Amino acid sequence: MLIRRATDLPSSELTPEGVYVNRRTFLAAAGAAAGAVGLGAIAGGLSPRALHAAVLGRQDPQAVGKPYGLQSDDKPTPWSDVTSYNNFYEFGTGKDEPIEMAKNFKPKPWTVKVDGLVGKPGDYQLEDFLKPSAIEDRIYRHRCVEAWSMVIPWRGIPLADVIKRAAPTAKAKYVEFTTLYDPKRMPGQQSGVLDWPYVEGLRLDEAMNPLTMLATGVYGRDLPNQNGAPLRLVVPWKYGFKGIKSIVRIRFVEQQPRNTWNIANPSEYGFYSNVNPEVDHPRWSQATERRLGLTGLDKLRRRKTLMFNGYVDQVGSMYAGMDLRKNY
């Protein structure tokens, strides 16, 4: 399946103010700190590609990513919003809690177990788990079931790469994901708000779709703790709660796995959770959404929710003939 890529957005729209340093600021900082610290520290932890862009005085499109299926007004949400407004119940139920509650979380070393109906199971250190996949930068829409949205420049690897290396058997029909369970490190798990550990799942063809990725970073930097460090799932045509964070296990199964929010409230959260403006949440409409990170009148404007979050051409065929109200 080919992925249609929209025309690259102008660099002035791709990079929110404050995310990447400009040439003059960078050179001034470099001159003041020469001999004391390395360039990576001066640049605040930017990737080599973003660091190179800072020296040249321009944004590096590879450090931000290619826009996948975006419209002309889909501007990337500022770093400050992407990293401070998060659903991550392992670190608190409030949107502003994870950035504070997760600040001391240590995501390395990290082990990912691959098991179930596969020919090559194993326990992998994160660095080995990612090899030999190529790291990619992609800009995706991100839609939350609570009717707010962001546009996020993710960095990661195609999930299909991992699946192919695992060699699932003919019986494998679904992929199940599990978050780390460690109440001492994740204090939100000390509450009974959900049935821990957090689990999610995809049908195998969904998991193999070229849009599906395992994110290791955002805006060219390592994934912040509050965003699901060091490894999270990104499925851009589904509601955000499908994007399970801090993954420690990937299991291949024959039967449809249950997922945490479906266990907690099956009348409101289904297995598929595809973005669908025609199927409302029982307590609010999904027909429109509020884009975070905007200013002025744009901040108040609501926009129409797009079917499959705007990725119909890439994913619509997977659901041909399905009742999308029943399979919500």
Q: Both tokens of residue 245?
A: 């964070």
**Identity of the residue numbered 196:** W
Query: Average pLDDT over the chain, rounded to whole?
Result: 85
Q: Is the pLDDT of residue 303 over 50?
A: yes
Mean pLDDT of 37-65: 41
- Which of 55, 64, 54 shows the shortest CA–CA distance to 9? 64
| CATH number attached to the domain at 64-319 | 3.90.420.10
H helices within the chain, ranges in order?
A: 11-14, 23-33, 39-42, 48-56, 61-64, 79-82, 98-101, 126-130, 159-166, 204-208, 260-264, 312-315
Output the pLDDT for position 63. Answer: 54
H helices within 153-298, ranges in order?
A: 159-166, 204-208, 260-264
Percent of the chain with pLDDT over 70: 81
pLDDT digits (tens, 9 = 90+) for 118-155: 999 999 999 999 999 999 999 999 999 999 999 999 99
Q: Are 275 and 237 in contact (CB under 8 A)?
A: yes
Q: Is the pLDDT of residue 50 over 70?
A: no
Q: Are 139 and 70 in contact (CB under 8 A)?
A: yes
Burial of 127 (0-12, 13-18, 19+ CB in 10 A): exposed
- Integer Cα distance of 179 and 163 in angstroms: 18
